[in-house]
Amino acid sequence: MRSSESYLQIVGRRFRRNRLAVSGSVIILLLFALALLAPVLSRYDPAVIDVNNILSAPSWEHWMGTDESGRDVMSRMIYGARISMLVGFVAVGIATFIGILFGAVAGYYGGRIDAVIMRFVDIMLCFPTFFLILAVIAILEPGLMNIMIVIGVTGWMGVARLVRAEFLSLKEQEYVQAARAFGSSDLRIIFRHLLPNAMAPVLVSATFGIAGAILTESALSFFGLGVQPPTPSWGNILGSGYKYIDFAHWLSVFPGLAILITALGYNLLGEGLRDALDPRLEGSQ
């Protein structure tokens, strides 16, 4: 117990020393605060239409201007943060769960089971992911719930490969053989002994995955195949606002910037986590 504690302390210390990692976490914590406190922070109801105030430029009343229905863009942006945070976590949660399941089974049992699962991974990787997502969305109807599930179900292959590789090397180690000699069940060995030691790279890849999921959601919503109006998401604000880019650039600039900064935050955090969790990799990546 003591040694695991000190490992975490080491990780924490290395993480805090890493400027990129700290700035990434600050960005993400701020975004979470924004998402949680949306009703408190936004000065207007994001859904209220004001026909006297259509497409007005940023001002003291409307810091980010208003949209084509006269809705306050800043309030919509703040509520949009909820969507991005939610989609990132749920989609990556699903992907990570499936990936761990397949990767653990393949790596632990090896042989024919491993071969079948890994071929399945290869086949899934042949599909242009964005096309696969679009096709499934077209069949299932666009919507928040569906895109989270679809992004998750089409994004687990990397995790599966990672977990499998970790398991293949870990299962040969003496402590695992000892556990097996004591008569531990397969499930116990997988979940108690192997998985915790394989989690570091999974955590890192999940962090990068969140950035990817947020980018995918925004592209889907931009094209009208993601989060449906009137629910505001950064992607659909941009999608309905870019037509007015000539004279109402604020509808295109702010949402895009928000997506960029959010994805950047998660990528910085992932990079920092990788350096902190695995001292060997520092500088080389």
Site for another protein in 265-284 (CB under 8 A): 267-268, 271, 283-284
> Which residue among 33, 138, 145, 178 contacts another protein (CB under 8 A)?
138
Q: Is 187 in the site for another protein (CB under 8 A)?
A: no
Of 158 and 195, nearer to another protein (C-beta) is: 158
Of 8 and 116, nearer to another protein (C-beta) is: 116
Scanning 30-38, 84-92, 100-108, 114-122 for contacts with another protein by CB under 8 A, the matching segment is 114-122
**Residue (of 128, 156, 148, 134) closest to 233 by Cα position:** 148
Cα separation, 190 vs 102, whole angstroms: 12
Q: Is 119 in the site for another protein (CB under 8 A)?
A: yes
Cα separation, 251 vs 71, whole angstroms: 11
Smallest distance from another protein to CB 220, Å: 10
Write the CB contacts of 17 (distance below 8 Å, at least 6 apart in sequence). none
**Residue (of 237, 87, 211, 235) closest to 151 by Cα position:** 87
Q: Any idea of the CA torsion for 99, 100, 104, 107, to the nearest 10 degrees?
A: 50
Of 32 and 131, nearer to another protein (C-beta) is: 131
Tokens of 40: 């408190």
Cα separation, 167 vs 103, whole angstroms: 8
Scanning 77-85, 102-110, 184-192, 245-253 for contacts with another protein by CB under 8 A, the matching segment is 245-253
Cα separation, 204 vs 182, whole angstroms: 33
> Which residue among 30, 140, 145, 178 contacts another protein (CB under 8 A)?
140
Q: What residue ranges bind another protein (CB under 8 A)?
A: 119-120, 122-132, 134-140, 211, 215, 218-219, 222-225, 238, 242, 245-246, 249, 252, 255-256, 259-264, 267-268, 271, 283-285
